[in-house]
Every structure is written in structure tokens, then in C-alpha cells.
A and B are shown apart, each in its own frame.
Chain A
Amino acid sequence: MYRIGIDVGGTFTDFLVTDQSGESRIFKSPTTPRDPTEGVFEGLKSAAESYNLDFAQFLGQVETIVHGTTITTNATLTGKGAKTGFITTQGFRDILNMRRGLREHQYDSKSAPPPPLVPRHLIAAVHERIDCDGNVIAPLNEEDVRSAARQFKAENVEAVAISFLWSFINPAHERRAAEIVREEMGDVYLSLSCEVLPQIRLYERHSTTVLNAYSGPPLARYLGSLEAALNKAGFKGVLLIMQSNGGVMSPQMTSRFAVNTLLSGPAAGPIAGIHYGRNHGVDNIISCDLGGTSFDVSLVRNGVPVVSSEGSVGGYRVAVPMLDIHTVGAGGGSIAWVDDGGLLRVGPQSAGADPGPACYGKGGENPTTTDADLILGYLDPNYFHGGKLTLDVAAAERAIKTKVADPLGIDVVAAADGIYRITNALMGAAIGVVSVQRGLDPREFALVVAGGAGPIHASPIAEELGIETILVPRESSVFCAAGMLLSDLKHDYVRTYPVEVSKIDHDRARSLCTEVSHEAMTTLRSEGIPDERITLAFAADLRYLGQFNEVGVQAFDGGHVDAKAVQQMIQAFHQRHDSLFGYSMPEAPIELINIRLTARGTTEKPRFKEMKGGGSDARHARKGSRRAYFGKGFLEVDVYDGLKMEPGNMITGPAIVEQPTTTIIITAGYDLVCDRYGNYVLHAKGRPHHEPALELASKETIR
């Protein structure tokens, strides 16, 4: 039986297939943006071939496919979502498109806001009003809703979002409006704010609900056709879809809550990071993924990834919980330039895949991070993507000379080193955002590095930040696909209950907890999860009375609400406020805003196979040497073939380890050890450390 993680990326679709023995194989196929199913099938077919099975036979033996998709993200970013109609409260027609009246780049007058997801003529403001206590001040004018639905139908609207003021306190009007829309428009895609995000803050709720409608139909169509095609081809297992919150969901639930997949791909990164960290007994990790145009970083503390509801995609606010993945525009394709004040900068412009870095020889004239990596000897021009692409060193030199070295009056190598260091500084700053800015010391974390080029930059970044341990998974280049196989079913629920903590009505709080746990249990059972595999984690959003932003803490364990539970919650809040913001106010009254529930259905995980141990000597894997830039100049350093390395093999930096799609630069400050799964661990020198590969071989740590 096989399990497959499939991550559809911008350029490649990545596959990680594991079998019962725990052996895993990597496949890649070109992504087919028009119909991603084609790319998915092509990859599955090469997997079948590799196992010497015919396609139907192979699919018949696949028990689980976990799939990360970029359908919703792409639809949102390219403006190709469903034609959407929006029904909201009269008098508030433009809240969605006002975007709270902000311009993010204040001094940039030559800019425009993101185009509206729903043009104003498709926003119907109907007569109805509920106040902040849930009282109906004006009844729903059903005729208004009906005529809006008729207009939408005449305009061929494919999806309808409904979001009224205070609907999270009293959803009656939204639900009735939905019935009317159904009557008029049949099986149109419907998105209700009281289902998608029953939570205070109007713009945030509107935007999330509308994005759900906007991205829902393309996702539902895609998942429908993918499931049909898989079933037709002989697949009898379970298909699960990766969510932005780091969990997975059934295709049926996913189609209803499409907005939960806006970070479907990258969300698997931290999950993979947790797994690789655990193999080394590390629970605190910073997981990062360096792609062509961006660097994604996220933080995991005590084995739990940080979740945030402050996200946005393409300038549109998404307020559902998503893994807190911080993205900066610094990748292999980021362009280096000198600004008119004479300072060297890298990004955010990117050469993309076409023409790509100058060294790709596809006509790119701008120097990029990859060009700098090449000049510095970190990349082998003849072994890029395992030799599939030969890099043009002269083109890289030319680009760096004309665009960076000459304007700065320095030589090409110094310029390349400058580009490398600025890129590292940008990445280091991004790590600072998820750690230092949240009051956490990065030195207490291990760095888990993914993406083909990530390990080229990891060790100087870690050195700069004082991080002592770096983990580079053997599957670094299909990191997210690996993470998908390790994800659990996960659903988030929220109920708003604004009240001073001293005045919490325990019965009401308890009944809200019961309400969401019923909803969660029903959903997870419908997804085939037996009760013993379901765990419920309750939390509360709190603030000091009068503050406008909340801090989330664990609370009401097991849905249990009493004086003691409230007291524990209060203590946890003071502590968290203090660690986040540098102060707390123990005397000040506290207000509850939301009760949250995260429900998890634990899935079967693949067991990755252990490799046979070798000695510490890595000489058998040495494939040669080359000149590369370390510190202040070029050094001739050993180059090792990663595929030949065995558990226990050790290399002292400076050195280079190469796999076909991954290059690891080991600076003089680090030693590298291959662990028992064939992953790499870099340890800061001069710090006593065990040989984890050997030590761990004696005990089972996989969960």
C-alpha cells in the first residue's frame, strides 16, 4: 500500500510516495496550470512505472493521497475567480471595497488598490438590520434579496456571498437570505459569513466570506474532476486536501470552505519541519523554504506551529486561522540592483523562471541571487538540477559587473559576495520577524531548511543569528509534499462572546463550547475519523478591557468552564501579554472576545525507513573539490555526493554536499552529520554534541 503527498507548485508538481516499509521515492512533473490534473496524473504515472505496476494496479494500492493545491491562490492572485455576487446590509454597500481606507505604501502615489473582487453593481445592499445585542431592528426585506438573486442570475453570477452586520450574534437573516437565493438560483455556490467566519470585524468577515465565494467554484470544479478521474483510474483510497491551517480536510468540506486553502502548499512546510525536528528530539524549530521568488519562514514552538488570523493574499484580507508563514520577496531569482543613493539592494523584483537568472542563458540580463551563488562557487555550473541545465558563468559575471560591481566600484567577486550577504540578511530579517518580533530568541530554535537553494544560504544565516543546529531533509526539494503526508485533519471553529471575564456566564460559555464540539465531531465523523482519534483543543481570545486587539491563550480544557478554568485562563493571558509585548497589567480587568476550538483527527502517518549505518568517515562519498568563497576569499574545498552518504558520516566545514536538486554549503563554523534517515544535520563547531544519528538509532521517536 502506498501513501502519496502531492504539492502543486508554480513550476513543478512534487510527489513523495511512501510504501509500507517506509521507503520513500521522489517524483516531479511539470505543473500544468490550465488543468493541474494532467500534471498530477503524469507524476502518478511515473510513480507507477517506477514501482513496475500498471497504472490502475498502482492506484488501487494507494490508500491515501494528500494534496496541496494552488487553485484558490492562483484564482485570487490572477483575478480569475468565479463571477461573484455579494449581498450585504443596506447602508454598508462599500465596506468590502473600501479595505478600511488604507494605502499600504503611503508615499507611493503611482499605485492602485487591488481590483475589487466584486464590482459595485454586483453588490446588493438589502434592507435588514440587527444590533450589537442580536436584536432585529429592521426585519429582512425578502423582496430585496429575491430581486438581487434574480439580477445575479441574469448576470450569470456563479457564486453568492452573504454577510450582514452582527450576523455572528444572530444569523437568522443570513440564513433566510440564503434560502431565498437557493430558491431563485438553484445550486449556485453559496458562502455565508455566519458559517465561514462567525466573528466580529465587518471588513475582515466580508472579505473572507467573499474570497470563499470567489475561489470556491474553481476549487470545487477541480476537486470534483480530480476525484472522478482518480476513481475512474482505479483509486479506492482517501483523498485529503491540505488547508492553510496546517491540517487536512475532505474534498467535500474543502469545496465548501475554499478560503481555507489559500496557503495550501506552503502550510505543509512547518508540518514537515516538526517531523524532522522530532527525529532529533527538537520541538522548537524555524522552518524555511527558499523558492525562486520568495522565502517562506514560519516558527514552531513546543511542536506547535504558530497560527495567525492576520493574513492577506493578493492584498485581500483573509481572517481565518492560517499558519503564520512570513514571506519575503527574496529567492533565487531575486534581482540585485544599486539604488540612486548608491546602496546595494536585492529584490523584491524577480527574474522569475523566464528569462530567469542571467546564468540560465535565456536572455536574462539582471544579476540574481543564483548568479551570485554561481560566481562564489556554491553552485556547480555542470551539475545544476543534476546536470539537466548548464549554467553560463560568463553571463552571470557580465550581469553582476555591469549592474552591481561597476556602479559600486568594486570587483565582481566582492559584488557577488555582497549580493549573497544582502540576500542572507533579508532572510535573517524574515526569521527575525517570526522570532525576535514575537519576543522569542532564535538561538533557542533549530533551523529546518527546504527548497533546492535553501541550504546554500542556511549556514551563514544561522551563524549570524547564533543558531546552532540546522536540519536539511534529504527530501528538501519536495519538503511540502512530505509535510502533507504528515498532516492531521484539522478544523477551526470560533464563537464571539464579548464579556468581562469576571462576568462570564459559565453556562453560556459552556454551551458555546458544546456547540462547536458537536459541530467538530459531526464533521470529523463524516470524514471517517473514529472518536478515539479525535482531539479537541479549546482556546480563548482575551484583551485588557479597552484594548482593541486580542491575545489567544489555551482555555476551557475539554470544554470545561468553571471558576478555576477561568482563573487559569487569566493567568495564561497575563503571561502571554508580558512575553509578547514586554509588559502586563495584573490589576487591570480583562475581557473575553472569542472562544475557539481546534479539532484534530489524527491520521495514519507513513514510517520513513531507516538506513543502514556507516562510520563517521565520509571519504567514500567525496566526488572532488572546487573553489568556493568562504569568509574573505576563495578556498579549495571538498565536494561530496549526498546520495552516497550513509548515517553517521561526518564532514567538517568548509565543504559542499550536493544532491541533484539540492546543494548544501557548510561554512567553517559547522560540521555536518548524516542521520539514520539520510537527512543532514549541521552542528555549530565548538559546541559539544552527540552523534544523533547513532544515538537515535536505538530508540523510536517517530510519532
Chain B
Amino acid sequence: MNAAPIDPVVVSVIGNRLDAITKEIGETMLRTSRSPIFSEARDFVTALFDRHCNLVAQTHYIPVIGGSTPFGQRAISEAFGDDIHEGDVFILNDPYHGNNHPPDITITRPVFWENRLCFWAMAKGHHADVGGGGVVGYNPASRDIWDESLRLPPLKLVDAGRLRKDVFDMILLNVRVPFLVDGDLKCQIGATAIGERGVKGLLQKYGLETLDTAVEELLKASETQVRREIARIPDGVYESERQIDHDGIDKNRMPTICCKMTVKGEELTFDFTGSDDQVRGYLNSPIANTVGAAHLALFACINPDIRYNGGAIRPVTVIAPVGSIVNPVAPAPCTACTVPTAETIVETCWLTLAQAIPSQTQALWARWCAPATMGIDPRTGRFFADIHFISKGGGGATQGYDGWDHIGTVVCLGGLRSPDPELHELVSPYLLLDYEYLPDSAGAGQWRGGFGVRYRWKVLADGIPCANFGSGLRPETAPLGIAGGKGSPPYRLSLTHPDGSVDPVDCNSFYTLNKGDIFEICSSGGGGFGNPFDRPVSKVMTDVRNGLLSPERAADYGVVVDPKTLALDEAATARARA
């Protein structure tokens, strides 16, 4: 397309405004949603697309969902073709129709100007329930997509300004917590209306032609920036692979993902050929999720100021063989793809990038293993449904900076907000016993990883279904350090009953929680960067003094500490580091 020349200043102004509109959509989601998964944890994204379904602007609280949005937008646009009208709102959750995983319901609204479809406003996020046999969408026993969820292909939820009560009621009839889903779907519909209002303001001011040209310029600017970043990466072919504990069905088999990164000039390809075939359990990653994870991995290692849009991703190619764990065919189950599978994809990408541009790459973050629980709170008679985000682990270190504590998972890059412990106790029948940093969990390095946490809570009700999902419980899946940095120990989980008996807890498994049970999660920290012996002794001693590094583990840094007085033995340290 040969656009008319445009004032570069107008382009910047429009770019800032488009970014602001996606924030306005997000603010509405945050302020009005019901499920704590939206409002407390911010497990959602908001986006604007042009009429060709190019991503124009985005606020990515959860980046891995962000990368998947164009697939869903395209699917809706193609499914309805000419039958898209002002005042319509569309819904989608089926991964085999462009969505990433079923609990993340896509809601998108066309923006019309002078009777023409011009833009789309989207709000997409993780619902408290989508039917199926899972808990908050997670069903570790699922063997196909129907075990996981009600499947919604692209559908009209609002028809020319009128809510389709038939469709809406059908959805609410198929979920366990209609009260939460009702409120949150309406919040998404309202949020896209806020987006529509913002875009119409821009159209009124600049007209469609100028806006179109500005958008193309914005996409080009991002593309140029990404090309320059890639050009700085040494050309070559880099390979890596990582594993996942198991898929919930075949508990003795560890699925493997392989990544081959090819950098040539200004273009970069992540090729996942060689990864395992699609698995029987819910780890399969639909293409939208795979592409989202790969993009996240790259964009976390380059200039953070680049606008992530349809232009930024043009120089990046993702190859994922059909029928593999990274591009499954229906009806493979796939709900867990956004956590363990996406984390593993990011890890493989980073391990290739660490060979090419180590100083820009981060050590691996803690994977995330957490239960989803739901039920009726006997104290109030109300439904509750929640994901235990409190178990988030530590972030990986990078050159010059320690990893951030309790910031995981990597697929959120620090955008996932930990719930408030008091609100958590108020809406769920739980009493929190421990929620603090886990000493010795940070991977050693010249820059160390962030700390994981110890999270322990007591159950105050009987018969609560609990789906424990995730990975990172085995040495093979614990976070690695890079550039000489060390890894962190794997997760440890247990369930202690009132009689004192203790059950081990595995990932991707169901449990039933009863009154008096105590659930404990010790999460991993992040991996370290660089040789731990190069870390200044004073910084090591700060962690010792703060009770976060034991004298035994201080030895990983070549620092010798008296276990009784916690005093530094300078002479012995000098010898150890020599």
C-alpha cells in the first residue's frame, strides 16, 4: 500500500492515543470485574485491531495472551465476513477456531465510522469457569477438548446493540459459577464499548484516511526497530530443548520441546520442528499460544520501548509442525498450554538467545505450579473460584540485575498481581499460615535469581475440588542459570491432613481438600547469571543477614560464614574464592 505522506508528529500523537485507549479498556476490566482472576491478578489483555486484523495497540498485562490475540480476531472476522454490523459484539473461546486456550474468553467489538468497519476493540481474559470437567478451566484428567470446556466458535453475543439472551443464557447454563461469568462477560462487553468510544473520538478528529496512514506508519516504525534489533544478533543457527514434568495422563513420560533459532540479517525464525507429537493430556499448545510465547521470549530480550504491534512481528517467523505439541489438531486438550507449555517454549527460545546475545538474555524463571480451587464457602453460602497465584516463584537474573522476587511466571513477565491475602481469606474458606520468601531458593550467580515463596494455607471447608496444574517439580524442569549462573531447586508441594499424615502433591493432578488440611507450596526461585564467585561479598552477606541465604548455601558463592554468629570469615572466603 502506498500511503499518502503524513506529518510524523500526527503519527506520534495517534500512537500515544491508541495506547491510551487500550489502557482505558483495561482500567474498566480491572475496576469492574468480579472474578479475582481479572481484578486482582489482572489475567487479561486488551487490544485494538485495524479492519485487516492487524494488531494496532495493546496493553498486555499477561503477555502470552497478548501474542495470541490476532489469531482470534482473524477467526471472528473471517467467520462473519459481511455479517458484521455496528453494535455487534463477538465471543470466542475455542482453540481450534483461533483462540489460545478455552478459559481465556475473547470478546471483540467492531468500530464503525461512516457505515464502514474500521477497527476492532478487544478485551480477553481468563474466566472463573468455562464448563467441562475442570476447576477454573483446568482439568488434568482431560483427554479431549470436550473434557475441558464448553466450546464457543465465533459467535455473536450482541446483535446490533441487543444482547443475544439465547446465547448468553446458554453460556451461563453451562458454567458452575454463572454469577461470576455473568458479571465478567458484561464487564468485557462494557470495556470494549469504552474502546469503541475512544477510537471514534480519533476518527472524528482525524478521519479514516489519516488514521489508516498513521497506523501503517506506526506498524512500519515498529518493524524497523525490530529489524535493527535482530540485525545486531549474530547470524547463525542455535538449538535447545526443554521438558515438562508430565501431561496428567501419561505420568511417566516427560514431553520435550525443541527449538532451533535461525538468525539471518534482519530476520529471525524460531522453528519447533522435532518437538514431541501432540500428547494425550492438556499440555498441547495451539498455534496462537505457541506464537504468543515465542514472541514474548524475543521481545523480552530487545529494546523494551518498541511498540508490540502487527508491524513488530513481521520480521519474526514461527514454525510449528501440525500435529505436534506446539500445533495440535482437534480435539487435543490444551488448557494448561498457557502455563507449563508456554513457559517451556519461552525457555527454549531464551536458551537459544543466551548462546547468541547472553548479555541481553535472562536466566530461566521459576515455572509456576499452583492449584485452582472452587466451591461453596460454607461461611457465606457463596460460590468462590480462584487460582492460587500466591505461589508465584522468582524471576531469572540478567547481566547487571538480580532477578525479581516472587514475580513469576515468565509468561506474565511480572504483570500478574499477587492477590491480597485478606481479600483471599474473605472470599474463600481458607486461613493463610505462611506467605513469605523461601530462603535459599534464589539461583546463585554474579547476579542472583529472585526468591520464590513458601505458601501454606489451612482449608476451612469440606470437599473442595482442587486441580493442581503446572510443572517444575523435577530436577529436569527446575530453572537453569545462564552464563555460569546456577539454577534453583524444584518446587516442593505437600498436603498435610489433620491426623498428621502427609500426602505428596504432584502437578497436573486432582485432589479433594477437606477441613483442617494444610496445603504447602515451596516455589522455585529464578536462575542466576554469571559466576557466583564474582558476586561482591557484601551483597552475599546482605542476603545472609536478611535470613534469605543460609551459611551452607553461601558456600555456593565462595563465601564462608560462621553458622552460629553469621559472621563472615574473610580469610576463608578469600581462600575459597581464590
Question: Using a CB–CB distance below 8 Å, which chain A residues touch chain B?
Answer: 91-95, 97-98, 100-113, 119-121, 125, 131-132, 137, 165-166, 200-204, 339-345, 408, 417-418, 421-422, 425-426, 429, 432-433, 436-437, 498, 544-549, 551, 577, 580-583, 585, 588
Flag if B432 contacts A102 (CB, 8 Å).
Answer: no
Flag if B418 contacts A98 (CB, 8 Å).
Answer: yes
Tell me, rounded to whole Å, the shortest Cβ–Cβ distance linking B36 to chain A. Answer: 6
C-alpha spacing A417/B416, complex, angstroms: 40
Flag if B12 contacts A422 (CB, 8 Å).
Answer: yes
Q: Which 6 A-B pairs have the closest CB atoms?
A: A103-B414, A341-B221, A548-B39, A120-B546, A546-B34, A107-B304
C-alpha spacing A103/B400, complex, angstroms: 17
B91 touches A (CB below 8 Å)? no
Tell me, rounded to whole Å, the shortest Cβ–Cβ distance linking B199 to chain A. Answer: 12
Contacts of B249 in A (CB 8 A): none
C-alpha spacing A282/B300, complex, angstroms: 49
B183 touches A (CB below 8 Å)? yes
C-alpha spacing A119/B432, complex, angstroms: 24
C-alpha spacing A560/B222, complex, angstroms: 58
Flag if B404 contacts A95 (CB, 8 Å).
Answer: no
Tell me, rounded to whole Å, the shortest Cβ–Cβ distance linking B34 to chain A. Answer: 4
B539 touches A (CB below 8 Å)? no
- Tell me the chain B residues, 172-200 only, with Cβ under 8 Å from chain A: 179-180, 183, 186-187, 189-191, 193-194, 197-198
Flag if A343 contacts B425 (CB, 8 Å).
Answer: no
12 A-B interface contacts by CB (under 8 A): A91-B456, A92-B434, A101-B392, A132-B426, A344-B12, A422-B12, A425-B13, A432-B20, A436-B24, A549-B30, A551-B31, A581-B187
Contact A131/B60 with A544-B34, A582-B28, A585-B183 known, Cβ cut-off 8 Å: no
B299 touches A (CB below 8 Å)? yes
Tell me, rounded to whole Å, the shortest Cβ–Cβ distance linking B79 to chain A. Answer: 26
Closest to B412 in A: A106
C-alpha spacing A577/B194, complex, angstroms: 13
Flag if A106 contacts B400 (CB, 8 Å).
Answer: no
C-alpha spacing A544/B193, complex, angstroms: 20
Flag if B13 contacts A422 (CB, 8 Å).
Answer: yes
Flag if B221 contacts A93 (CB, 8 Å).
Answer: no
Flag if A110 contacts B548 (CB, 8 Å).
Answer: no
Tell me, rounded to whole Å, the shortest Cβ–Cβ distance linking A353 to chain B. Answer: 26
Flag if A93 contacts B404 (CB, 8 Å).
Answer: no
User: Which single member of A101, A120, A132 contacts B418 (CB below 8 Å)?
Assistant: A101
Closest to A547 in B: B34
B436 touches A (CB below 8 Å)? yes
Tell me, rounded to whole Å, the shortest Cβ–Cβ distance linking B385 to chain A. Answer: 10
Closest to B11 in A: A343
Tell me, rounded to whole Å, the shortest Cβ–Cβ distance linking B92 to chain A. Answer: 21
Flag if B32 contacts A547 (CB, 8 Å).
Answer: yes
B498 touches A (CB below 8 Å)? no
C-alpha spacing A323/B139, complex, angstroms: 46
> Besides A100-B420, A120-B437, 4 other CB < 8 A contacts?
A93-B437, A109-B360, A121-B547, A583-B187
Flag if B304 contacts A105 (CB, 8 Å).
Answer: yes
Contacts of A421 in B (CB 8 A): 9, 13
C-alpha spacing A119/B221, complex, angstroms: 43
Tell me, rounded to whole Å, the shortest Cβ–Cβ distance linking B74 to chain A. Answer: 24
Contacts of A422 in B (CB 8 A): 9, 12-13
User: Which single member of A97, A109, A546 contacts B401 (CB below 8 Å)?
Assistant: A109
C-alpha spacing A201/B420, complex, angstroms: 6
Contact A92/B421 with A111-B401, A426-B16, A546-B179 known, Cβ cut-off 8 Å: yes
Flag if A91 contacts B434 (CB, 8 Å).
Answer: yes
Contacts of B299 in A (CB 8 A): 107
Closest to A93 in B: B436
Contacts of A588 in B (CB 8 A): 183
User: Which single member of A202, A417, A436, A548 contacts B34 (CB below 8 Å)?
Assistant: A548
Flag if A106 contacts B418 (CB, 8 Å).
Answer: no
Question: Using a CB–CB distance below 8 Å, which chain B residues touch chain A?
Answer: 8-9, 11-13, 15-17, 20, 23-24, 27-28, 30-36, 39-40, 60, 63, 179-180, 183, 186-187, 189-191, 193-194, 197-198, 201, 220-222, 224-225, 228, 299-301, 303-306, 360, 362, 382, 392, 395, 398, 400-402, 404-408, 412-418, 420-423, 425-426, 431-437, 453, 456, 542, 545-548
C-alpha spacing A646/B175, complex, angstroms: 71
Contacts of A110 in B (CB 8 A): 398, 400-401
User: Which single member of B194, B401, B436 contacts A112 (CB below 8 Å)?
Assistant: B401
Flag if A581 contacts B13 (CB, 8 Å).
Answer: no
Flag if A91 contacts B418 (CB, 8 Å).
Answer: no
User: Which single member of A97, A100, A342 contacts B221 (CB below 8 Å)?
Assistant: A342
Contacts of A97 in B (CB 8 A): 405
Closest to B299 in A: A107
Contacts of B35 in A (CB 8 A): 546
Flag if B426 contacts A498 (CB, 8 Å).
Answer: yes
Tell me, rounded to whole Å, the shortest Cβ–Cβ distance linking A411 to chain B. Answer: 13
C-alpha spacing A200/B423, complex, angstroms: 8
Flag if A581 contacts B402 (CB, 8 Å).
Answer: no
Contact A341/B414 with A101-B407, A200-B422 known, Cβ cut-off 8 Å: no
Contacts of A581 in B (CB 8 A): 28, 31-32, 187, 190-191, 194
User: Which single member of A119, A418, A585 contacts B8 (CB below 8 Å)?
Assistant: A418
Flag if B12 contacts A341 (CB, 8 Å).
Answer: no
Contacts of A201 in B (CB 8 A): 420, 422-423
Flag if A165 contacts B431 (CB, 8 Å).
Answer: no
C-alpha spacing A113/B17, complex, angstroms: 28
Flag if A101 contacts B422 (CB, 8 Å).
Answer: no
Contact A102/B414 with A201-B422, A588-B183 known, Cβ cut-off 8 Å: yes
Tell me, rounded to whole Å, the shortest Cβ–Cβ distance linking A130 to chain B. Answer: 11
Flag if B401 contacts A120 (CB, 8 Å).
Answer: no
C-alpha spacing A132/B16, complex, angstroms: 44
Closest to A204 in B: B420
Contact A120/B28 with A342-B224, A425-B13 known, Cβ cut-off 8 Å: no
Which of B9, B16, B60, B180 has most chain A Cβ within 10 Å?
B9
Contact A343/B12 with A107-B304, A546-B179, A549-B31 known, Cβ cut-off 8 Å: yes
Contacts of A132 in B (CB 8 A): 422, 425-426
Contact A106/B422 with A342-B221, A583-B186 known, Cβ cut-off 8 Å: no
Tell me, rounded to whole Å, the shortest Cβ–Cβ distance linking A286 to chain B. Answer: 16
Flag if B407 contacts A91 (CB, 8 Å).
Answer: no
Tell me, rounded to whole Å, the shortest Cβ–Cβ distance linking A333 to chain B. Answer: 20
Contact A408/B8 with A91-B433, A98-B406, A112-B401 known, Cβ cut-off 8 Å: yes
C-alpha spacing A597/B249, complex, angstroms: 57
User: Which single member of A120, A425, A426, A548 contacts B547 (CB below 8 Å)?
Assistant: A120
Flag if B305 contacts A339 (CB, 8 Å).
Answer: yes
Contact A102/B34 with A92-B435, A201-B422 known, Cβ cut-off 8 Å: no
C-alpha spacing A583/B158, complex, angstroms: 14
Tell me, rounded to whole Å, the shortest Cβ–Cβ distance linking A423 to chain B. Answer: 11
Flag if B415 contacts A106 (CB, 8 Å).
Answer: yes
C-alpha spacing A94/B453, complex, angstroms: 9
Tell me, rounded to whole Å, the shortest Cβ–Cβ distance linking B68 to chain A. Answer: 16
C-alpha spacing A200/B15, complex, angstroms: 38
Contacts of B186 in A (CB 8 A): 583, 585
Flag if B33 contacts A548 (CB, 8 Å).
Answer: yes
Flag if A548 contacts B425 (CB, 8 Å).
Answer: no
Contacts of B300 in A (CB 8 A): 107, 109
Contacts of A120 in B (CB 8 A): 437, 546-548
C-alpha spacing A91/B398, complex, angstroms: 30
Contacts of A425 in B (CB 8 A): 9, 12-13, 16
Contacts of B24 in A (CB 8 A): 436-437
Contacts of A166 in B (CB 8 A): 422
User: Which single member of A109, A200, A408, A429 contacts B426 (CB below 8 Å)?
Assistant: A200
Flag if B414 contacts A101 (CB, 8 Å).
Answer: yes
Flag if B225 contacts A113 (CB, 8 Å).
Answer: no
Flag if B415 contacts A544 (CB, 8 Å).
Answer: no
C-alpha spacing A583/B306, complex, angstroms: 34
Closest to B542 in A: A119
C-alpha spacing A588/B180, complex, angstroms: 11
Flag if B435 contacts A106 (CB, 8 Å).
Answer: no
Contact A203/B420 with A343-B15, A426-B16, A548-B34 known, Cβ cut-off 8 Å: yes
